């Protein structure tokens, strides 16, 4: 149950981060809209909130990491790919309790669900490079 509810939390977090990126609304308003939505049944809402606020509160560091390991500027990425990478980078850098293998797999699956046809390959490459360089450096 925990795995399914976390996957759903990631899916909803991608949608919420995407909404925030596009609308520039207050993150607290976006959180409220999503929490009140009936589609949150079966979602780990605490984890959803952790991802959402974690991304927003650490956006500069996350975007710097994405740029470093993707060799593309953050503004050159599609909004969905950007949202997926921001969430995955947050998990890689701040959620040491989650295996990098799970994070990479979830990022790929999110890209297959929400991204362009081959965006999962790009997401996989960026997350793999980040894991190889960043997580090994800090010995996670």
Cα(87)–Cα(127) distance, rounded to whole angstroms?
11
Q: How far is CA 128 from the centre of its chain?
A: 14
- H or E element in which residue 19 lies: helix 2-23
Mean pLDDT over all residues of the chain?
Answer: 91
Please give the pLDDT value at position 136: 61
The answer, yes or no, to whether residue 42 has pLDDT greater than 90, is no
| Residue showing tokens 């899916």 | 11
Cα(15)–Cα(21) distance, rounded to whole angstroms?
10
Q: How many domains does the chain have?
A: 1
Q: Give the residue, 38 or 75, on which the prediction is more confident.
A: 75
Cα(44)–Cα(23) distance, rounded to whole angstroms?
24
pLDDT bin (cut points 50, 70, 90) of residue 97 is very high
The model carries a pTM of 0.92
Q: 40: domain range? A: 2-137
CATH number at residue 87: 1.10.940.10
The answer, yes or no, to whether residue 120 has pLDDT greater than 70, is yes
């Amino acid at each position: 149950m925990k795995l399914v509810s976390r996957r759903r939390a990631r899916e909803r977090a991608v949608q919420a981060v995407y909404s925030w990126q596009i609308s520039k609304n207050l993150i607290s308003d976006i959180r409220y809209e999503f929490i009140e939505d009936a589609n949150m049944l079966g979602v780990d809402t605490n984890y959803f909130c952790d991802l959402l606020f974690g991304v927003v509160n650490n956006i500069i560091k996350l975007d710097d990491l994405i740029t470093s390991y993707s060799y593309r500027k953050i503004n050159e990425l599609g909004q969905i790919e950007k949202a997926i990478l921001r969430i995955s980078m947050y998990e890689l850098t701040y959620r040491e309790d989650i295996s990098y293998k799970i994070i990479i797999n979830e990022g790929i699956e999110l890209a297959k669900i929400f991204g362009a046809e081959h965006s999962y390959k790009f997401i996989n490459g960026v997350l793999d490079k980040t894991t190889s360089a960043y997580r090994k450096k800090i010995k996670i």
